[in-house]
């Protein structure tokens, strides 16, 4: 992905000097990998943390490392790309004005109106303050522990969270969450899968237009995103956690579904192709 030297976004709230932490026992990399699995599956990962020394976090910020600064610049450029692309799509395809979100960068822990953010939550979007939250250490987890390497795999993570903001802007996220609140757990999970697959599809739409508008995609970039979608499918994560896949617990979709909906968005380049709520063929 060609991102160095390009325009960054002003909609970055950098809290990384205000928070910090370290984990003992299994080590921060292993801990983040386990917690990421818990986040993507919505399952209790406590059994995976047992059998070793306890873990803990200590507060206190610190100077940003070169890797921190590079990750922040990368996220800023990717966010700027989403702003331009979605503003254009909203205007041309939807006849609406796009209001971009703020993206919060943090290290270890921070707070949001949707609850505390930490390695356990992973990247997420909070509709209450219209902000996406990201600890860039997750990129390391994605590459080293979950097997999804490459700049564009990381860009897919950012684009996916921004896609939830797109859903919020369109009124989709609010309506879907209202239905979830009055549904059974299984029904709520099924709606969550549709929300997440649509965000994957919107990510593909963004990728298609970003490549055309900025010439930023290198050969293999789409493959990196597709691999990331595969590695974080509910079934794959459950198998990697030593569990038998249990579809009624899925909250994000299978690897095949996540790849297919990203591909549908990328190939069509159209928001209209991402209606995961009206189809019976997820």
The structure's pTM equals 0.84
Low-confidence ranges of the chain (pLDDT < 70): 18-62, 119-121
Largest alpha-carbon pair distance within the chain?
Answer: 56
CA distance 176 to 179: 5
96-122 per-position pLDDT tens digit: 999 999 999 998 889 999 988 876 668
Predicted confidence at residue 116, as pLDDT, reads 87
CA distance 279 to 265: 15
DSSP letter string, 165-227: HHHHHTTHHHHHHHHHHTS-HHHHHHHHHHHHHHHHHHHHHHHHHHHHHH--PPTTHHHHHHH
Average pLDDT value for the chain: 85
CA distance 74 to 143: 15
CA distance 27 to 23: 6
252-277 per-position pLDDT tens digit: 999 999 999 999 999 999 999 999 99
- Which residues, in sequence order, are bridge partners of residue 13? 104
């Amino acid at each position: 992905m060609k991102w160095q030297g390009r325009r960054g976004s002003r909609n970055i709230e950098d809290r990384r000097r205000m928070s910090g932490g370290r984990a003992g026992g299994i080590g921060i990399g292993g801990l983040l990998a386990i917690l990421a699995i818990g986040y993507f599956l919505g399952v209790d990962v406590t059994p995976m943390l047992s059998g070793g020394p306890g873990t803990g976090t200590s507060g206190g910020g610190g100077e940003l490392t070169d890797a921190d600064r590079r990750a922040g610049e990368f996220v800023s450029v990717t966010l700027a790309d989403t702003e331009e692309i979605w503003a254009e799509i909203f205007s041309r395809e939807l006849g609406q004005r796009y209001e971009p979100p703020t993206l919060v960068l943090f290290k270890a822990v921070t707070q949001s109106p949707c609850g505390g953010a930490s390695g356990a939550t992973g990247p997420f979007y909070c509709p209450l303050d219209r902000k996406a939250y990201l600890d860039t250490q997750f990129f390391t987890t994605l590459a080293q522990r979950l097997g999804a390497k490459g700049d564009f795999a990381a860009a897919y993570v950012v684009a996916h969270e921004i896609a939830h903001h797109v859903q919020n802007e369109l009124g989709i996220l609010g309506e879907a969450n209202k239905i979830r609140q009055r549904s059974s757990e299984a029904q709520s999970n099924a709606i969550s899968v549709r929300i997440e697959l649509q965000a994957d599809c919107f990510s593909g739409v963004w990728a298609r237009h970003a490549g055309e508008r900025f010439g930023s995609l290198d050969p293999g970039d789409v493959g990196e995103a597709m691999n990331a979608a595969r590695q974080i499918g509910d079934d794959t994560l459950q198998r990697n956690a030593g569990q038998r896949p249990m579809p009624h617990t899925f909250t994000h979709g299978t690897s095949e579904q996540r790849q297919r909906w990203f591909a549908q968005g990328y190939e069509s380049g159209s928001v209209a192709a991402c209606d995961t709520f009206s189809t019976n063929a997820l």
